[in-house]
Chains A and B, each alone.
Chain A
């Protein structure tokens, strides 16, 4: 089961948050896990809009025999990230908030995958599994 959300304007971040919250709740994630997932979604959605020039979010529910989880894929056609290492190291992070988005999302989710090419765009995929 998948759902697609357009990420173009800053207001779309709120829509992304509430939709992701709904799905996480329905999947039966605990309160803290829900908060982690929604926060990661907020960070990555903002990146897509502010740095990627807009794109979309694909929410996918994974429900196998053994594993249940939620997968979020953020894609944009922006200018791409030149130095992924640097971006993942936290940028300006002094605990104040700037540049924490990518690194933070990685810390909040179980699986994290990023593909970014200069000039073509960025794709970030994150997944959180139910315990």
Chain B
């Protein structure tokens, strides 16, 4: 399976997941993001999951890991566009993604990232 493309928009890395990912692709995404955060000095990571019709524990866990690792590398992460059916199923599954910031869509996601970067800068 191909790797998920990562776009740079200003100081934010934008990832739009449009395929049903297998476990290896998910792992590669994590690795690629970490590399890019450092290489491109990104301050924010926006992961758009509006095309995902399912998020299981593996993908959910990886989103959490990406958020934690990015944080250590100095970037804030926001996951945007979760579908209602997916949100409901995740809660029933027991996946709460407590340490992951979320936004309704890409637009609001970028707003959130900028807010978080400002807050980070102020501390």
A107 touching B92 by the CB < 8 A rule?
yes
Q: Which residues of B contact A (CB under 8 A)?
A: 1, 20-24, 53-58, 60-62, 64, 84-86, 88-89, 92-98
Number of A-B contacts (CB under 8 A): 84
Given contacts A39-B54, A95-B94, 5 further A-B contacts (CB under 8 A): A34-B85, A35-B53, A39-B89, A39-B93, A107-B93
A17 touches which one: B54, B64, B97, B98 (CB < 8 A)?
B54
Complex CA distance for A100 and B58, rounded to whole angstroms: 9
A18 touches B89 (CB 8 A): no
Interface residues of A (CB under 8 A from B): 10-11, 13-14, 17-18, 21, 31-32, 34-36, 38-39, 42-43, 46, 90, 93, 95-98, 100-101, 103-104, 107-108
Q: Which residues of B contact A38 (CB under 8 A)?
A: 53-54
Q: How far is the CB of B123 from chain A (nearest CB, A)?
A: 25
* Residues on the A chain within 8 Å of B57, using CB: 43, 97-98, 100-101, 104
